[in-house]
Amino acid sequence: MSRYTAPLREMRFVLFEVLQAESAFAELVGAENASRDLIDAVLEEGARFTEQVLAPLNQTGDAEGCRWEQGRVLSPKGFKEAYTQFVDGGWNGLTAAEKFGGQGLPEVVGAVVKEMIDSANLSWGTYPLLSHGATESLKNVGTPWQQEVFLKPIVEGRWTGTMCLTESHCGSDLGLLKTKAEPAGDDTYRITGSKIFITAGDHDMTENIIHLVLARLPDAPPGVRGISLFIVPKIKVNREGVMGAANALGCGSIEHKMGIKGSATCVMNFDGAEGYLIGAANKGLAAMFLMMNSARLAVGLQGLGLMERAWQNALAYARERLQGRSLTGPKRPDKAADPLIVHPDIRRMLFTQKALIEAGRALAYRAILLVDQAQHSRTPEAREQAEVLLGFLTPIVKAGLTEFANECCYHAQQIFGGHGYIREWGMEQLSRDARITTVYEGTTGIQALDLIGRKVLQLQGAGLKLFATEISAFCAQHAGESALVEFVTALARATQEWMDLTLAIGKAAEANPDAIGGAAHDYLFYSTYVAFAYYSLRLLVAAAGTDQDFQAAKLANTRFYFQRILPRATAHAAAIRSGSGNLMELADTAFV
């Protein structure tokens, strides 16, 4: 049985010491009352709920999975009761605006709680996750009556939300979607089509489910310019918020998946279902991306949550499991063998997990603090700058944390040895669950193309320049500190190479557009390693003044990252410089 304890000290350290959240909140409209005492109380209670209620359901939910019976989905035993406790505790509306019935706390506070949820029970966490995404679209493009009728019950937790994008013939290329929306003549529409891979598309936890569905109007232009977004409830709801008959939609089946088996991943069929247009006609993709961008950061947090749980259990096992003798002589002469943690290769895997988790947590929390700043900063200039930097960091957070989640879960399995392959220990579940995080809400390849193609080249490197300037200023500030010089020098050098690589890709793309796709994967990873290096060093700097053991751990962690993980970026730089010819020169018919 795998265990989970919320790492409250690390979470608070990042939030309050590294990111200086209290000072940041003071500069946000509506967040002035988010005191440390209040947030500490929220985190304490979040830890209790996730450790005691959600974590015990993680492996049982995986073993049982969701059941599809007579066109309806039943969640694993205990999931519905846990959701009721979640709603009763006010967690569902933690960060929603007070005018919609929420508590109005900053998004970054919700992110810390979400990390706990994802560590404790990733499958269960997908149900409120999709509601948060629906909330973002309704909040930003919904009309006042739609917010009153649909948004408030979602914030209350009485209803949940979904986003319905993917069809069997189109995933990332949404311009190919075929779902139709026919005007009914009474301000409603009839939605017809099938969507696949719909997380929480059907379940037994709430009285209604609000689907946000992409579809085409009869006169829509082709491609992505002709997509509209519609609110399609499972149970019909009129403009006064009164529920009526069942809508003409249903779950056709649930997917048989590798992991997250407690999460209902549904095929949803719409057969002339009643819906309402949300936002402007043919502008649905922009509205849906309000959900998508939020979801991408949320999936990054899923990766972080899995990394943390895998690390905790691998560390405990390495301390307890006796296996072999230390190469420098027995460390436990009173025992038949030494614990695994004395062996260098075990420490390599533990340090890799620890270094990636700690830097990744700081980066993820920073990105979500930018969400707060983009929405609530006091000046338009501050909001715009936060939005630009957030857009740049989002694909790095999503792809970096999910790819590293797979690496860290792999290391945990290796530390457990044969027991890591056995269900009872829980490591194989974490490894299976981690696989989907690199796929949904945009694969790693999609994130890579978004980063170099759109966020850097199309937007002329606006976010990259902001981030690189921030790193350079940090390096200049600490350049004279002898204890940091090796790290500052390496970070400054890597940042300059990052800029040089960016310019080289842009120049190569002028002659050959394939240069962008050919460099995208390696550019994403190079960017991720530099961003993690920056936050690893910021953690070390912020640890000054803490207790000696904490400082020593941060120093060892930073040294390991800079000496053993950051050098990986060199290989990615070499791959970028090799160009796209080695990818494209072989004819597709010659792949034999």
Long-range contact list for 462-468, CB < 8 A, 24+ apart? 462/388, 462/392, 463/388, 463/389, 463/390, 463/391, 463/392, 463/393, 464/392, 464/498, 464/499, 464/502, 466/385, 466/388, 466/389, 466/392, 467/389, 467/392, 467/393, 467/531, 468/495, 468/498, 468/499
260, 245 in Cβ contact below 8 A?
A: no
Q: Per the structure block, which two tokens stand in for 51?
A: 């450790």
Q: Per the structure block, which two tokens stand in for 45?
A: 């209670």
CA–CA distance, 77 with 61 (Å, rounded to integer): 7
269, 249 in Cβ contact below 8 A?
A: yes
Long-range contact list for 153-157, CB < 8 A, 24+ apart? 153/208, 153/241, 154/210, 155/92, 155/93, 155/96, 155/100, 155/101, 155/102, 156/87, 156/92, 156/93, 156/101, 157/83, 157/86, 157/87, 157/92, 157/93, 157/128, 157/131, 157/206
Q: Counting beta carbons within 10 angstroms of the beta carbon of residue 168, is it exposed (0 to 12), middle (13 to 18) or buried (19 or more)?
A: exposed
Which one-letter DSSP state was computed for residue 590?
A: G
CA–CA distance, 525 with 531 (Å, rounded to integer): 10
524, 452 in Cβ contact below 8 A?
A: yes
Residue 98 bears catalytic tag: no
- Residue labelled with tokens 């993709």: 285
Nearest to 469 by CA among 392, 541, 414, 405: 392
SS3 469: helix
Which one-letter DSSP state was computed for residue 29?
A: T
List 72's β-bridge partners, or say none. Answer: 69
Catalytic residue among 98, 403, 441, 481: 441
CA–CA distance, 568 with 562 (Å, rounded to integer): 10
CA–CA distance, 320 with 343 (Å, rounded to integer): 13
CA–CA distance, 495 with 468 (Å, rounded to integer): 7
CA–CA distance, 573 with 576 (Å, rounded to integer): 5
Question: Using N-to-C axis directions, what is the helix angle for 427-437 and 284-320, rounded to 10°?
Answer: 160
Residues taking part in catalysis: 441
